[in-house]
């Protein structure tokens, strides 16, 4: 994951273009400390993005222009995240070779490991480490990333139309791992790293990022299209309500703490509908848990570890009341919420209350901003 280099200099802004919301974070470093200098977010018109992919670059560009004005960002360089079904991450093994020879070897062999035609993909890789296998062959372990060119180009078009300069495009899963590993290192979460892994689950509006960390390395990533908007849409479909009203109901009511337990803390205007809403949300949450279980089972079938010992939830969808306890009960795992600002100071020009309110949604933009400090 890299070592942070705390040199005082201007760094690009971390930019998370989400399905419902765009978020941007600007970090500065001084005297060994990171400070959030500026942060802003803005809603995106519905339909501009779907399943993590930009479909209306002009609409996204206009939202970016508005965000830059609203937040008064003075930096045009950005690191942008991508996360959708057109991004593939694979952990692969190749015979050991010097770094200068690896790029050609990866380019030559990549097609064996990815479902995207190589000529239609942008490839990148990171060396995880080297080892000697059971046949006493010296091998190198590589994290291979492939992203479909047309999808990446749509991001670049939107950014350039907004007058922004992309200096890097990163995988959102890596950004999540980067920010949460900084804010709450693995060691306290999982004392016996050889026996279990930690799963970071970032639940956005349109997609969910599943990242499994072993020995501080993202060894498994997956993007699911089952996310926060699906919970809201289930209320829309069942109760014939406008989307915004259903979203408000979802957030206000949440999941039941346990069967038969009296509902508390629900606004009066929603009490009559609360039981029906919770039943709908419980159905979606059950599907979500099944999705996690399938991902975990697939990872564990190939991993050296025996179980997922810790689950950390982050993202706007993690704010759903009692979702953490629901997942903990159904997956029999230790579940907590992942707050990415743990070791980052909130700058003097920002409202601490407003930032803290949005903190669970900031893991990606902070992780993207952190990339330039590695």
Residue 232: which CATH number?
Answer: 3.30.420.40
Query: How high is the pLDDT of residue 264?
Result: 67
pLDDT tens for 9-38 read 568 999 999 999 999 999 999 888 999 999
**Structure tokens of 64?**
């970016």
pTM: 0.90
Q: Are residues 22 and 135 in the same domain?
A: no
- Residue 8: what pLDDT? 41
Residues 263 and 287 in one domain: yes
Residue 7, pLDDT score: 43
Do 326 and 213 belong together in one domain?
Answer: yes
Q: Which residues of 162-198 are buried (b: 16+ CB within 10 A; e: fewer)?
A: bebebeebbbbbbbbbbbbbbbbebeebbeebeebbb
Write down the pLDDT at residue 270.
76
Q: Are residues 73 and 160 in the same domain?
A: yes
Q: What is the mean pLDDT of the chain?
A: 90
Q: What is the CATH number of the domain that holds 128?
A: 3.30.1490.300
- Looking at the structure, do residues 194 and 50 belong to the same domain, yes or no? no
DSSP state of 303: S
CA pair distance 53, 18, nearest whole angstrom: 9
Residue 1, pLDDT score: 36
Residues 25 and 168 in one domain: yes
The single residue listed with the structure tokens 């372990």 is 141
Are residue 247 and residue 230 in the same domain, yes or no? yes
**Concatenated DSSP letters of 187-232:** HHH-S-TTTEEEEEEEE-SS-EEEEEEETTEEEEEEEES--HHHHH
Given pLDDT bands bounded at 50, 70 and 90, which one contains residue 262?
A: low
Rounded Cα distance between 41 and 63, Å, is 10
Same structural domain, 60 and 161: yes
- The mean per-residue pLDDT over the stretch 278-290 comes to 97
The pLDDT value recorded for residue 44 is 96
Does the pLDDT of residue 47 top 50, yes or no? yes
Is pLDDT larger for residue 177 or for residue 10?
A: 177
How is residue 132 written in tokens? 């000697």
State whether 66 and 101 are in the same domain: no
- 237 and 295 housed in the same domain: yes
Q: Structurally, how many domains does the chain consist of?
A: 3
Same-domain check for residues 42 and 158? yes
Residue 265 clears pLDDT 60, i.e. is over it = yes
Each residue of 213-251: pLDDT tens digit? Answer: 988 888 899 999 999 999 999 999 999 999 999 999 999
Q: Which domain holds residue 224?
A: 189-338
Q: Residues 325, 207: one domain?
A: yes
The pLDDT tens digits of the residues spanning 96-109 come to: 998 888 989 998 99
């Amino acid at each position: 994951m890299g070592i942070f280099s705390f040199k005082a200099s201007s760094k690009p802004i971390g930019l998370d273009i989400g399905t419902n919301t765009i978020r941007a974070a600007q970090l500065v470093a001084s005297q060994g400390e990171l400070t959030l200098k500026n942060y802003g977010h803005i809603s995106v018109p519905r339909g501009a993005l779907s399943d993590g992919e930009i479909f209306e670059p002009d609409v996204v560009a206009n939202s970016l222009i508005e965000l830059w004005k609203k937040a008064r960002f003075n930096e045009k360089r950005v690191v942008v995240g991508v996360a959708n079904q057109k991004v593939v991450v694979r952990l692969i093994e190749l015979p050991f070779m010097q770094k200068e020879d690896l790029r050609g070897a990866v380019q030559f062999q990549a097609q064996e490991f990815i479902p995207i035609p190589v000529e239609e993909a942008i490839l990148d890789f990171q060396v995880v480490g080297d080892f000697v296998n059971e046949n006493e062959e010296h091998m190198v372990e590589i994290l291979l990333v492939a992203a479909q060119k047309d999808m990446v180009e749509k991001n670049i078009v939107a950014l350039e139309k907004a007058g922004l300069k992309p200096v890097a495009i990163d995988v959102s899963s890596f950004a999540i791992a980067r920010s949460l590993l900084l804010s709450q290192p693995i060691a306290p979460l999982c004392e016996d790293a050889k026996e279990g892994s930690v799963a970071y689950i970032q639940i956005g509006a349109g997609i969910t990022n599943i990242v499994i960390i072993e020995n501080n390395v993202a060894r498994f990533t997956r993007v699911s299209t089952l996310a926060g908007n699906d919970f809201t849409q289930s209320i829309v479909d069942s109760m014939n309500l406008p989307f915004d009203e259903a979203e408000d109901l979802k957030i206000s009511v949440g999941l039941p703490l346990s069967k038969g337990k009296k509902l508390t803390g629900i606004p009066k205007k929603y009490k009559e509908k609360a039981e029906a809403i919770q039943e709908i949300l419980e159905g979606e949450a059950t599907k979500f848990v099944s999705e996690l279980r399938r991902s975990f089972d697939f990872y564990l079938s190939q991993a050296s570890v025996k179980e997922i010992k810790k689950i950390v939830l982050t993202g706007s969808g993690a704010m759903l009341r009692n979702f953490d306890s629901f997942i903990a009960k159904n997956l029999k795992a230790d579940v907590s919420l992942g707050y990415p600002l743990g070791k980052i100071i909130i700058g003097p020009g920002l409202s601490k209350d407003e930032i803290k309110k949005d903190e669970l949604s900031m893991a990606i933009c902070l992780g993207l901003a952190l990339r330039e400090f590695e």
